[in-house]
Amino acid sequence: MVSKKLDTNSVLLLASGFYLTLYIATLIWSYASDSVPFPFSDFRFDGDALTWCAIAFALGVAAVYVSRAVFKASDAERKFARMFRTTFGNIGWTEVLAYALLSGFFEEVFFRGAVQNAFGLVAASIIFGLAHYAGRDLIAWTISTVVMGFILGWIYIASKTIAAPIVLHFTVNAMNIRYVSKIDIEDDRT
């Protein structure tokens, strides 16, 4: 059987459909539950929220560089890059920003706005990590995603706005997606 690789626009369209479905699920959940607020009921951009968004951006940049240093010591970085390229192909800045915006925005509305409000920080962080599971070869990435779930959840609690974890998630994804899309996956040491 010959498998046909999807082009970048098709993958972006599929991702958009997935995240729209996730958002609809969040809306339904918020209408059916007292513990899940309506999406964006805590979305604000006052002075305090902007300060938290700046902190979130700085945390995102720091998290990216820490994770690069950790993963550089193993072959997990190249394994992840291979998996990423198999799925997404070679992408440019427009696609990087689109994926980062879609995932940062809709995953935070779901995982922090719905799951964390319903089940708490620990459960939301573990579920977030499990949702990013990519196989045993990349278990370190899954574990780091659980840790990132705790950081995202903490900044959501501390800032009292969904905007801060969205900024953090967008920053991490934009920088990492661009980075892994450019790693030399054939070289033994990149």
In a domain, 161, yes or no: yes
Residue 32 placed within a domain: yes
- Is 94 a member of any domain? yes
**Could you tell me if residue 173 is inside a domain?**
yes
CA angle 128, 130, 132 (to 5 degrees): 75
pLDDT of residue 23: 87
In a domain, 130, yes or no: yes
Classify residue 181 by its DSSP letter. T
* Phi, psi (degrees; rounded to nearest 5) at 161: -145, 140
Task: Tally the domains of the chain.
Answer: 1
pLDDT in tens, 19-31: 888 888 888 888 8
Residues 6+ apart with CB under 8 A from 184: 190
Enclosing domain of residue 85: 8-180
**Residue 19 within a domain:** yes
pLDDT per residue rounded down to tens, the chain (190 residues): 445 556 777 778 888 888 888 888 888 888 888 777 766 667 777 889 899 999 999 999 999 998 888 777 667 667 777 777 777 777 888 888 999 999 999 999 999 989 999 999 999 999 999 998 877 777 777 888 999 999 999 999 999 999 999 999 999 999 988 887 776 666 544 4
What is the length of the chain?
Answer: 190
CA dihedral (173, 21, 25, 132) positive or negative: negative
190, part of any domain: no
In a domain, 31, yes or no: yes
Evaluated on CA atoms 80, 144, 169, 28, the torsion sign reads positive
| Residues 30-68: tens digit of each pLDDT | 888 877 776 666 777 788 989 999 999 999 999 999 888
The conformation of residue 43, written as its DSSP 8-state character, comes to -
Count CB atoms within 10 A of the CB of residue 183.
16
The whole-model pTM stands at 0.84
